[in-house]
Structure 1
Amino acid sequence: MRASNRLSAKGAAALGAGKHADGAGLWLVKDEPTRGKWILRVTVHGRRREMGLGAYPAVSLAEARKSADTARATVRAGLDPIKERQRAKREAARNLHVLNDIARDAFESRKAELKGDGKAGRWFSPLALHVLPKLGKLPVADIDQTDIRDCLAPIWHTKAETAQKAIGRLAICLKHAAALGLQVDLQATDKARALLGKPRHKPANIPALPWREVPAFYASLCDGTVTHLALRLLILTGVRSAPLRFMHISQVEGDVWTVPAAGMKGRVDATADFRVPLSDEALAVIEAAKAHAREGYLFPSVKKGVISDATMARLMERREMEARPHGFRSSLRDWLAEATDAPHDVAETMLGHVVGGSVERAYRRTDFLEQRRALLARWAKHVTGQSGQVVRMVQG
């Protein structure tokens, strides 16, 4: 009797219920005459193992023998064919993850680093609007530079800043996928940049009111409404609109307004609370705003929450001004450069910018509060039309 290949395709079909050996550990186990399953018995490291090779007759005798040969070769290599098959299935399953899933998982893992846990959607929106509609259903392992190029080419030159954000976020997603154990091309985004070329479009700066024209505009904000008061304090402090719009009475102590770290632009840093010295004019604006406060917020909207950035911008639009609220930061910075000799580090700190490298910041313990207090007091005088003289700063 042959040690292997005992069965024939015709003979296997005629067999009744029971266990039937083909030889060399391969068995056809029939539950009934018309159906059954293939079983391979092997010994791995002295342990007997039974490995299913598929249902009969869906898996033919020839296919079962071929699978059995592959499994026996694995055993001869000192490996367990069952574990190797399971490992291959896991790897295949990992590689089937689509970009939609990876992008959302990457976003979830980074929420704690983003302002407001990323609720504003600014981190995810470049992906959601420009990448996922085209690439979201692709397995992340299949995405290459040509896919990325074709996806972003329509906005690469016309919406350059948005395209740069989108490709940057996509690079983070690919790194996240690699950290999960997926086989991805981590250089795909860099290769796509090479294919797309240098963007022709240059992002325009936010229009700003020249600092010499700020006093006239400030004087026109005189009706005591929430919008007028918010714009006045925005001009006086040089902060971004978000922390100002969410300004709470509890953040003000004496003549210092402490903006929580979560309210500052960029990643959350437990040590990054930002102190804003308040001039007498700024304190007067805050006192007037208290009459409008709701739940402690100084600049509430008409219905609920706080006023939006668009509310202040629309006021300027209605006056047919090109300048926008955020531009008052540039007005202040230009005044510092042209009308004072404020040191660079002090001037940049006034706008909440990070100054110096990590080592330098670790050794510098000051936030230049007193120097900034003097400068903002002089800025308030300029804004209110009381003084136009050049400021001389003495570094302490």
Structure 2
Amino acid sequence: MAKGRDKLSAVMVRQAPAGKYGDGGGLWLCKGSKDAGSWVLRVAVHGRLRHMGLGSISDVGLKEARDAAEKWRATVRAGNDPIKVRERAKREAARNLHMLKDVADDFFEGYKARLKGDGTAGRWFSPLTLHVLPRLGKVPVANLDQVDIRDTLRPLRDTKPETMRKALNRLNLVVRHAAALGLDVDTRIIDKARALIGSGNSKAGKIPAMAWQDVPAFYASLNDGSVTHLALRLLILTGVRSAPLRFIREDQITREKIDGHEIDIWTVPAEAMKGRKGQTEAFRVPLSAEAMNVIEQAKRLARGGYLFPNVTGKGVASDMTLSMFMRRAKLEARPHGFRSSLRDWLAEATDAPHEVAETILQHVAGSKVTRAYRRTDFIEQRRALMERWADHATGNSGKIVRLVEAHG
């Protein structure tokens, strides 16, 4: 055993709480919780510190992690960058990836580190494994077309529209991964498939929404501290409808202690909850640090207890004020569409359970019987997701990586 190495044990790997634990020689165990974590190798390459992921603890055991660490340390000793060497090997292997299932598996292997518990239980990937890959898995990605996708997913349009949307979102990521691998694919194939599938039996007109990838740039443009800019920022950060947002009062913001954590909460009165027939309870909205920052700025403009007063007269800012701002900016999207932006982000960039995602948007999820027995509003899970959404909206979604690098 090399000096200062092999400090961990298999028992420690299994039982250690959240934190970072060094095994020696630059190998670190990074645990987000008692049951989930990953291996990271820190090495100096040409005078620059590099952090190399070696896999999750659910897939890679202690001995395997040590063997991999030694392999890549040898690469460094030979004067090579292990991350670049591994990427070259992946590109070589990608030349043999042709079938949709192979590309999908390769994509998920790299993507699951972004998901809670590395996407355990297969929830995030299941829309593909259950509804796409059984029929299209053996189709070469270069031969995949929008008609194939339409015929595969349109049966879900009227019976399981949310599942269909998730399947399309995840398949879009797989197609873009194939393009990144250098495979000949049409990156607009999902948009074409959506057009062929159609809108189903929905009677309501679809409100134009901004793609979640475009939200950070728009959010950054809302920077003059006016009532309109602050209201739109809080609308984006909370995912609420515009009516309760415009009528938000200072006395609706409180701090509560939940499961040992102090959480800032906006309690929306029951009468403000549109779409909840027979709504008799208020709705709690967890507020991210960025949302609280916006609220603190809005307090300086408050009048009569309302955070977003009408600047031209009595009452609060009108819905037309927010819509006209976006129209004058020559944007197709409308304020209410940010709820769709958030919902698409939850489906495409997280593994949020359906019930939690729907609760974030104040939708009723589950059967009447299920709801009768449910005694939670998922406030803790929603708080964590809304903090991540705020990180995305403010362009700081990469800060988790910097946090790993900051530990020694």
TM-score (norm 2): 0.45
Structure showing greater radius of gyration is 1
TM-score (norm 1): 0.47
